[in-house]
Amino acid sequence: MSIEYAFSFSKEKCTQCYGCEVACKSWRDGELGVSWRRVYKIWTGRYPEVKLASASVSCMHCVDPVCVKICPVQAIQKRPEDGIVVGDKSKCIGCKSCEKECPFGAPQFGAEGKMQKCDLCLSQVDLGKDPPPCVETCPTKALQVVKMETKEKKAIEQNIQKLIGSAANTR
């Protein structure tokens, strides 16, 4: 077991304001049509006993990333030192295998046809010190970046996967 960076998310605090989604686009010069982070509405139950919750989801930097395994040209790597999953545009051939396999909808393909996704703002902020803009802008601190054990991180991955895999999710 080792320690990795992870997003933690508290649905009790998320007001579904979409601040994280737009902060990501604004701070990383997001391309139109591409969203590295997305906020979902999660419906459960039936009227009048219906419930509404939220999920803010980007690349989960999975403990066992399927994108890394599937990529035919090894353009996606998981950094051993902190678990962050990063892509290498110069190697990417745009086959979209990663997009098909990722349960979180993380890999995206814009106009240039190369994989792009959340890199935890590795290139932008000193992660040891500052959070990425999606976390920083969150009015209720529902979204956090934490260091955690891989076992625990895996549990988050599984739960988010179940949530957004439900047929009732909407934007």
Site for another protein in 130-149 (CB under 8 A): 130-131, 133, 135-141, 144-149
Distance (Å, whole) CA 103 – CA 1: 23
Residue 26, phi then psi, degrees to nearest 5: -70, -40
Q: Taking CB under 8 A as the rule, does residue 159 contact another protein?
A: yes
- Burial of residue 84 (CB within 10 Å: 0-12, 13-18, 19+) is buried
How near is the Cβ of 30 to another protein at its closest, in Å?
A: 7
Show contacts with another protein in window 57-116 (CB under 8 A): none
Burial (CB < 10 A; 0-12, 13-18, 19+), residue 153, is buried
Which span (59-67, 75-83, 104-112, 126-134) binds another protein, by CB under 8 A? 126-134
Q: 119-150 burial by CB neighbour count: b if 16+ within 10 A, else e?
A: bbbbeebebeeebbbbbbbbeeebbebeebeb
Site for another protein in 29-48 (CB under 8 A): 30, 32-33, 35, 39, 41-48
Per CB under 8 A, the list member of 2, 26, 93, 112 interacting with another protein is 26
Scan for tokens 């090894």, then name that residue.
74
3-state SS, residue 41:
strand
Query: Interface with another protein includes 53 (CB under 8 A)?
Result: yes
Does 11 help bind another protein (rule: CB under 8 A)? yes
Near another protein by CB under 8 A, which window of 23-31, 64-72, 90-98, 102-110? 23-31
Site size toward another protein (CB under 8 A) is: 71
16 forms part of the interface with another protein (CB under 8 A): yes
